[in-house]
Amino acid sequence: MKISGYAVYEKKSLLKPYEYAPTKLGPKEVLIKISHCGICHSDIHLIDDDWNVSKYPFIPGHEIIGEIVECGNEVKKVKIGQRVGVGWQSGSCLECEWCASGQENLCPEQVATCVGRNGGFAQYVITDSRFVFAIPDKLTSENAAPLLCGGITVYSPLKRYNVKPKDKVGVIGVGGLGHLAIQFARAMGCEVTAFSTSPDKEEEAKRFGAHSFVLTKNLNELKKAENTLDFIISTVYTKLEWINYVNALKPNGNLCFVGATFDNLDFPAGVLMLGQKQVSGSVIGGRAMIAEMLEFAARNNIVAKTEVFPLNDVNRAIEKVRNNTIRYRAVLKI
Ligand code: NAP
Ligand code: ZN
């Protein structure tokens, strides 16, 4: 058997058809016939080798939904015919202190679905059965696929940092992650402010649940947000004037980075001290948190707003993610 998909052959290039022979299914592995795969901005970072971890050629894609078609002989958790999802992570040691405390996302031996391996822009994927998740019936595959990475990445810090229904939450960037963050925070009872560079996103951000919308190019608007928020989640991958957002926090507030911004922070540490403020980060989420997030999304009708593309149109979809014209998550229908 050969698995066919679309791979990136060299840094920053267009994807082209690609075939590979899968390894023999390990005892705990499953073969999944993919029906849908979201395009996360992390796939773009990998295509461009922004993180110096990409090995070409490889098939990107880590917001996968499909059906199990084959199981290794020690697979217990899932069965053939079941609809499941796979996210960024597809393995860990399951023994270290991080795995033992449900934080497999911090395991030093973690395996990523499409780093050094082939991911979900393909007909099939092979993965560890202990990192696949049942998808609640209520969620359609198209709208649920982006929850597997985008959804968990924004749900997890809202839970970990104990955001409460009375809290005022800011979301920077109304993209794939951001539009889900608005929905989750709203469903948790919070008052939500969206910070965006795109004026045309205001109406929809409010439909997703934002109570207010700040066009960040307008510095006066940003100033008005000073001292108003308990928790801010940044989903952007660019350098911003972070001091504006630290100032937007109330005392004891927390600015949490989930967007992959690797520039230095440049504000005086004293502003954190004076307001007892925190700056934090968060990366995907552990397995228990993913299962909880999927259930929470199903109960609260939290779904990604998607634009669907056939697999052979993957380059057009990627282009729309790159130029920020996608609304709000590109999903490949395989
Ligand atoms: P996305 O769909 O492309 O959304 C990013 C948003 O950032 C855009 O929609 C845009 O929102 C805003 N933006 C773009 N250019 C900007 C600029 N120059 N200045 C200010 N804002 C800008 O990306 P995504 O899939 O949500 O991913 C976002 C980031 O999260 C990526 O870096 C990705 O790698 C990272 N990520 C991290 C984790 C984790 O575990 N921590 C998991 C998944 C993804 P507006 O139009 O509203 O301004
Ligand atoms: Zn992702």
Over residues 122-173, the pLDDT tens digits come to 999 999 999 999 999 999 999 999 999 999 999 999 999 999 999 999 999 9
pTM (2 d.p.): 0.98
Q: How far apart are CA 331 and CA 309, in angstroms?
A: 6
**Percent of the chain beyond pLDDT 70?**
100
Q: Is 113 in the pocket of ligand 1 (CB under 6 A)?
A: no
Helix/strand/coil for 111: strand
CA of residue 107 to ligand 2 center, whole Å: 17
Is the distance from the beta carbon of residue 40 to the nearest atom of ligand 1 less than 6 Å? Answer: yes
- Going by CA atoms, what residue is nearest to atom 23 of ligand 1? 41
In this structure, the number of other CB atoms found within 10 A of the CB of residue 138 comes to 13
Distance CA 309, CA 133 (A): 24
* Closest residue by Cα to residue 115 from 63, 29, 56: 56
What is the spatial distance between Cα 203 and Cα 182, in angstroms, rounded to a whole number? 13
Round to whole Å and give the CA distance between 92 and 240: 33
Q: For residue 236, which atom of ligand 1 is closest to its CA?
A: 7
Q: Which of 155, 197, 206, 242 to mutate to test the pocket of ligand 1 (most atoms within 8 A of CB)?
A: 197
Distance of CA 158 to the CA centre of its chain: 14
Task: Write the burial class of residue 24 (CB in 10 Å: 0-12 exposed, 13-18 middle, 19+ buried).
Answer: exposed
The predicted-structure confidence for 240-266, as pLDDT tens digits, reads as follows: 999 999 999 999 999 999 999 999 999
235 lines ligand 1 (CB under 6 A): yes
Query: Which DSSP helix (H) or strand (E) runs through 245?
Result: helix 242-248
The response to whether residue 141 sits with its C-beta less than 6 Å from ligand 1 reads no
What pLDDT does residue 77 have? 87
Rounded distance between C-alpha atoms, residue 179 and residue 205, angstroms: 7
